[in-house]
Structure 1
Amino acid sequence: MISLNEFHQDFLQSILSDAESRGLMKPQAFFENVCEELVSSGELSNNYTAAEYIKTGMEVYGYDFDQERKILSLLVHQFFQEDEIETLTKSHIYSKFNRLKSFYKKCTLGLYKDLEETSEAFSMAYNIFRYRQENKFDKIRLIILTDGKSTRTLSNIPSELIDDIVTEFRVIDIEYIYKIFLSEYNDSDSELEIKIPCLEISTLTDEYKSYLTVLNGNYIVDIYEKFGQKLFEQNVRTFLQFKGSVNKGIRNTIEYKPELFFAYNNGITATATDIEMDNFGNISKIVNFQIVNGGQTTSAIYAAKKVSKLDVSNVNVQMKLSVVKDKEKQNDFVSKVSEYANTQNKVNKSDFFSNSPFHKEIKNYSKRIWVAAVSGSQRRTHWFYERVRGEYLNEQAYLTNAQKKQFQLENPKEQLIDKTFLSKSENVWLQKPDIVSRGAQYSFSTFAEYITNLLEKDNLAITESYFKDAISRVIMFRSVEKLVSKSSWYDGGYRAQIVAYTIAYLSYLVEKTGKHLNFNLIWEEQKLPDALIDILKVISKSVYDGIINTPEGSANVSEWCKNSRCWELIKQMKVNITLDNRLLIDKEDLKYSKREDKKEKKLENSIEMQILTITTPSEVWNAMYDHYKKYEFVSSITRTQLDILEKMAKKSLNPPSEKQSKILYQLYQQADTDGVI
């Protein structure tokens, strides 16, 4: 297992590399990375916004408004960026918290009136003032982020009342960030202490155990209060508010007929990796508790009590709990349960994107494709695709020092790309800057839907050319970030929005020519051509002028950029540029290239299937045949498939044909999903 010190070194290098490749200040890169990690783990909501304000006695770098849980969070950081882990002292901690408190109090008194309307600080101060005036939050969280270690002399900071509102104090230090890494990559367990009666349901498989139980409304509120969106991390859907007819029905039942809730509601479907029972047959502990169906019910009950102030003590909800002890099979099991069990609201196939073949395809290409040596370098490298935070570090865990050095040379930090950043660079080229402006998690969810639909229409869509073009778009995104930061007109605000709208506008201009941008020019040099940089400089300045001139009644630039009307207005800009034909490629040339890519991929897939069928031991085919023969009348495989499987088990296919290999490959995949092998 990776130690804390090793994690700290890797984390620090990631921050420094990210700052360098994207033109960020190092503390800014630290703050952004940690906040996005907190959003993905459910600590912060999708409303999180970075905004800096530093004055005498005041300091803040961002804020978050969790609309469901009615929590306002103010964030500050202390980035030491030292090789050794520094200690954040007690006096330092209290100083940071006092600065946050002063800022909050000034905001409630109308600080925004003294700020420049086009600044990010104005939007932050104005929103905090408005939230307080409208009583939209009933808890404040003041949060310090640091790459240091919180002093051991301060184990707990008691809550306070500020402006008659409960205020909590939290320090997110390197140990806390390390624990997030362990939970995401090394399957660290989370535990829920509880006491609920249950009935064990007999099953005919060792794959899982199932229990029926009942949760009281107050229990549900307490659990959601503690864990928030982390309860649903296996299920990307979030609460839809009381807008749909289903959610309105839930609210009405809670308010007028709470005693009938159990009868009317479909209940909750949940999973865990283990449970503990007490001497009376009650469930006393649930390990890795996840709600995979019933998120609407859970959130609605919470909102009913916290927002509508309704009594939920008479509300009881049935729960089906499946315990899957094999963590390797849990993701597949959860996806199937979500897909088959959910009836309350429509479930999009993109909700199961974590298991999409897209990730496997991109990962395979990232390992296989070498980047051309550039700028006199004699060493070829890879772009490393990190689907789960920590993969880059974990792949080095058991390497010798020499092997680790070789790995880092071939996979340099500056060529590390994660799924959320990839979704942003792809979405802006798809002309969705308003979506990207809503935050990394929202952008990722939208991208998941796009890719899922794309693969449904064409399962060969993710080719080698797609991978190279996607990496080229990442290079473009990072380059525009640097370009904006260095521009003389840039005053430090709304960089993320400027970047998103700049690249989207370029995509829009290219589309109007009837041609395509030649991304191969970027891939071959691993940088933007000078002619393209000159064009982007002009576009970015026009975009900046466009987004800060918000329409009347929309003084908040951040919120305006999330609006699709903003994108419609930006598209109407007249920018004095000419696209050099050398940057473009004709549609017919692109179509030909795509056809050739798909032919090659189809051949690769066919070879991969044949290799798997030949190298799989005969005892595996025998186990598969015995299982599907036994359950022949209830399984979904056909007689033809079973005949081919029997021949393979009896070694009478030597070797199997291309068509037979495809059928056997599909059966192998199904058997793996069904837990047969």
Structure 2
Amino acid sequence: MNIDEFAEEFRQEVLSRCNDEESGHFREDKFTEVMIEYLIRADEVDDGEVCYYKHNARGEKLNGVNFSSDGECVDLFVSCYHGIVPPKSVPNSEVNDHFRWIRRFFEASLGGTHRHLEESSPVFSVAQQIHAQREEITRARFFLLTDGIVRKAEVQSSTVNGIEVRNFLWDLEKLRRFITSRMQREVIEIDFATDFGASVPCLEAPGTKGEYRTFLVFFPGTLLAELYGEFGPRLLEKNVRSFLQAKGKINKGIRKTILEEPQNFLAYNNGISATVEKVKIDLPAKGPPMLRWARDFQIVNGGQTTASIYHAFKRDGADLLNLVIQAKLTVLNDPNKVEIYVPQISRYANSQNKVNAADFSANHPYHVKLEESSRRLWAPSVTGTERQTHWYYERARGSYLDDKSREGTPARMRAFEILNPLRQKFTKTDLAKYENTWSQYPYLVCLGAEKNFIKFTEMFIDRGYPVVDEDYFHHLVAKAILFKTAEKLVGAQGYGGFRANIVTYTLAWLSHHTAQRVDLEKVWKEQKLSESLCEAIVTVSKTANEHIVNPPPQRRNPGEWSKRQDCWETFRSTAIIIPFGLEHELVDTGRPDYRHGLKDRDDASGYTSETQKEISLVKQVPAETWLKMSRWAKETDNLAPWQRGLAFSLGKVVGSGNSPTPKQAHQGLKILEESQRRGFKM
């Protein structure tokens, strides 16, 4: 695919996320959003949030931001978007202008420019957080994103107020190389002897000559700090970065040892685990073998330790001369099995922590089955013709373009686009956004795409993955249509800079107050929302906007306010009058055709007082309610199948005048609580 063809493909991907009425910086926002997603896939950044700001008089501009989990690194994004094909040639003067604008914004934020910004604006929280963390920030990374072509880039690093600043440029040609190479991240090659002064002593474990070899390596603390300073989070395999993001501040115990007892670090610390594709080992006449070179070095356990050593060195000036850390280095001899081994090594090496037990891999059966369903199931035709289309689930980033390119000829590729419209493509982070909104976790959605996906995965690990059948896929697509339509409707209201937050809060409120009885099957069949539902979205969005942009005095910033659970709980209880016609469109969960009866009978003798209380509470709920709950859960695709079955069983047990078992009672109360949280009315 030549650069012009690629530019048109990319332009269409951006436009597929825009409303027809949107122009100006709104399209630039979508461009920034798409680029950040590719940077995440390229392992350049962990996450990113779109945040547009431009002040012409002061020469400042910002398009996106991401703060590291430890607060010591900030990524700032600035976009140079044209939206034209063939792509425009971007001169060095324009490149330098954009880097200067983002630098000025950073400098102003460090100096407290948030005091002069409107508190309800998204950029306020960014500037405020930079200022608040000015003593902790040791690194800043500026990313220039453009859909043009930069012929001769002169990207230089610098410092701002003693903070190390590195500039990165991603133009359309660099993005094309990344995507057409099947989206493989840039592999890290480390020449210890040439680039870092010396080879590293190591010992090879006997008997590991099959699919892998294992070495015990002893890294000087200064070397590990230099490696992290050079490559940053790219050293850390995906699961480890997710762990660091969830864990928060660096471990105080590790830091204390580094600063006060560096000579004892080897004895106190468990070390790190890493994988590599290839190594070069020198065998000197005297002394141990020496690790001279490694390809695709990835830390799969010990990210917290690595980051702690680096930050203690950079921020606290720690003396690492006597600090040594051991590493288990696994060399994977079969490159075809790297994608299998690395996630598993990472998962089991970090199994002591619940967050790391989550399998963030796209190879999980849930995602594989969802992908298979998206290729097999046809969406109903809504154009008056017999032509049907797919809703394409992009399980692995870039698979849409891969599948399209495999068609070969231009005619076949156009046919692929017709059957798989770009506007009907959705990713793993989109999936998490739709599901967590519908499940009434809008405050998690507001955390950002990657963080929300991690939370989504954690919850599935805890309660089990849903069964992916035709009904599930139909309803998931209906939720996607809900979200995409709500984005257009909310965008048309002109509320300002918090559209994404307003959308998820609006739909979560409707999910709760309709008890999730929106007819998702009807949405799937018609591939659109009814007029009443659209009217309800607009109505609720007005209150959602007022709620988000007017946080309590102690919260101040709307963006941060929307990420809090109490923000949602307050909004959830807000009374809003929605169109009368919507009630007639909701799914009727029905009523059972027999009546229940209760008897003054207690079979709980011999149980603890707590168990007796639980059994009593379950029996106080009418059988009709349990049966209605079971039907509601089935019709709205709520709860796990076993929970629906238990609700039905409890209805029959209570209706016959019997007592549930202690286990049934305990789980029944949990089902009742979760159903009510999702909007089921007693």
* TM-score, normalising length: structure 2: 0.79
Give the Å deviation of 1:542. 0.3
Distance 1:110 1:347 in 2: 36
1:13 lines up with 2:21 in the alignment = no
- Whose relative contact order is higher, 1 or 2, with alpha carbons under 8 Å and at least 6 apart? 1
User: Which 10-residue stretch deviates more, 323-332 or 90-99?
Assistant: 323-332
CA distance in 2, matches of 1:243, 1:569: 27
Question: Which residue of the other structure, out of 266, 273, 297, is the alignment partner of 1:262?
Answer: 266
Cα pair 2:360 2:454 within 8 Å, conserved: no
- Taking structure 1 as reference, are residues 265 and 55 closer, same or farther at Cα in structure 2, changes over 3 Å only? same
Deviations 1:27-78 (A, max 9, x none): 2210111123334544335464523233333322233333537233432211
Amino acid at match of 1:293: N
Is it true that 1:431 corresponds to 2:440 in the alignment? yes
Amino acid at match of 2:334: D
In 2, the alpha carbon distance for the partners of 1:59 and 1:158 equals 19
* Structure 2: tracts of 5 or more residues without a match: 193-198, 590-629, 643-682
Quote the residue 1:607 is aligned against. none
SS at match of 2:294: strand
Note if contact 1:214-1:317 (Cα within 8 Å) is conserved in structure 2: yes
Amino acid at match of 1:214: F
Paired with 2:497 and 2:401, the residues of 1 have a C-alpha distance of 33
SS in 2 for 1:574: coil
Which secondary structure does the structure 1 equivalent of 2:359 belong to?
helix
CA distance in 2, matches of 1:330, 1:108: 42
Measured at CA, do residues 89 and 279 of structure 1 come closer, stay the same or move farther in structure 2, by a change above 3 Å?
farther
C-alpha displacement of 1:20: 4.1
* Structure 1, 543-552 or 61-70: larger mean CA deviation: 61-70
Q: Are 1:27 and 2:31 matched, yes or no?
A: no
Which of 153, 168, 171 does residue 169 from structure 2 map onto? 171
Compared with structure 1, are the counterparts of its residues 592 and 407 closer, same or farther at alpha carbon in structure 2 (3 Å cutoff)? Answer: same
Partner of 2:497: 493
Q: Is the 8 A contact 1:367 1:382 kept in 2?
A: yes
Distance in 1 between the 2:5 and 2:83 partners? 14
Measure how far apart 1:197 and its partner are: 2.5
Would the aligned equivalents of 2:51 and 2:123 in 1 still touch at CA under 8 Å?
no
**Cα distance 1:44–1:593, how it changes in 2: closer, same or farther (>3 A)?**
closer
The residue type equivalent to 1:429 in the other structure is W
Of 478, 482, 486, the residue aligned with 2:484 is 478
Task: Report the 3-state secondary structure (helix = DSSP H, G, I; strand = E; otherwise coil) of the residue aligned with 1:82.
Answer: coil
Indicate the residue corresponding to 1:413 in structure 2. 422
Query: Match for 1:294 among 284, 302, 315?
Result: 302
Q: Distance in 2 between matches of 1:542 and 1:316?
A: 58
Tell me which residue corresponds to 1:372.
Answer: 380
* Aligned position for 2:676: none
Any idea what SS the aligned residue of 2:322 has? coil
1:588 is matched with which residue? 631
CA shift digits 1:201-232 (9 cap, x unpaired) = 23366322222211222222222223333233
Q: Contact conserved, 2:138 with 2:314, CA < 8 A, in 1?
A: no
- Judged with a 3 Å threshold, the aligned counterparts in structure 2 of structure 1 residues 230 and 322 are, in CA distance, closer, same or farther, namely same
Q: Distance in 2 between matches of 1:448 and 1:592?
A: 24
1:45–1:65: 8 Å Cα contact kept in structure 2? Answer: no
> 1:84-108: per-residue Cα shift (whole Å, max 9, x none)?
2322101111222333333344444
For 1:675, the equivalent position in structure 2 comes to none
In the alignment, the residues of structure 2 paired with residue 333 and residue 345 of structure 1 have an alpha-carbon distance, to the nearest angstrom, of 19
Q: CA deviation at 1:23?
A: 6.2
Counterpart selection for 2:156 from 134, 155, 158: 158
Does the 8 Å CA contact 1:332/1:355 hold for their aligned counterparts?
no
Structure 1 pair 118–428 and aligned structure 2 pair: CA distance change class (3 A): same
1:5 and 1:278 map into 2 onto residues whose CA distance is 48
Match of 2:661 in 1: none
Q: Name the residue aligned to 1:526.
A: 527
- Alignment deviations for residues 236-265 of structure 1 (CA, whole Å, 9 cap, x no partner): 533279989x93432332233322222222
What residue in structure 2 maps to residue 130 of structure 1?
A: 132
Q: CA deviation at 1:433?
A: 1.1
When the two chains are superposed, the root-mean-square deviation of aligned CA atoms in Å is 3.0
Q: Residue 103 of structure 1: which of 80, 83, 105 is its match?
A: 105
Counterpart in 2 of 1:220? 224
**Helix, strand or coil at the partner of 2:405:** coil
Report the CA distance shift for 1:341/1:521 in structure 2 as closer, same or farther (over 3 A): same
Listed as ranges, the matches of 1:318-397 within 5 Å are 318-342=326-350, 345-346=353-354, 348-397=356-405
Identity %: 32
Q: How many residues align?
A: 584
Per-residue deviation at 1:361?
Answer: 0.5
**Cα deviation, residue 546, structure 1:** 0.6
Indicate the SS of the match to 1:19. coil
Question: 1:523 Cα shift?
Answer: 0.6
CA distance in 1, matches of 2:137, 2:260: 26
CA gap of 1:138–1:290, structure 2 versus 1, over 3 A, is: closer
Paired residues of 1:110 and 1:126 also in contact (CA < 8 A): yes
- Alpha-carbon distance in structure 2 between the residues aligned to 1:250 and 1:416: 44
C-alpha displacement at 1:310, in angstroms? 2.6
The Cα offsets for residues 100-144 of structure 1, whole Å up to 9 and x where unpaired, read as 333344444543333322112333333333334xx2323343332
Residue matched to 2:567? 566
Return the letter of the residue paired with 1:169.
Answer: N
1:47/1:438 contact within 8 Å kept: no
Residues 66-85 of structure 1 aligned to structure 2 (within 5 Å) = 66=68, 68=70, 70-85=72-87
Residue in 2 that maps onto 1:440: 449
CA spacing shift, 1:86–1:582, aligned 2, 3 Å = same
Equivalent residues of 1:145, 1:172 under 8 A apart: yes
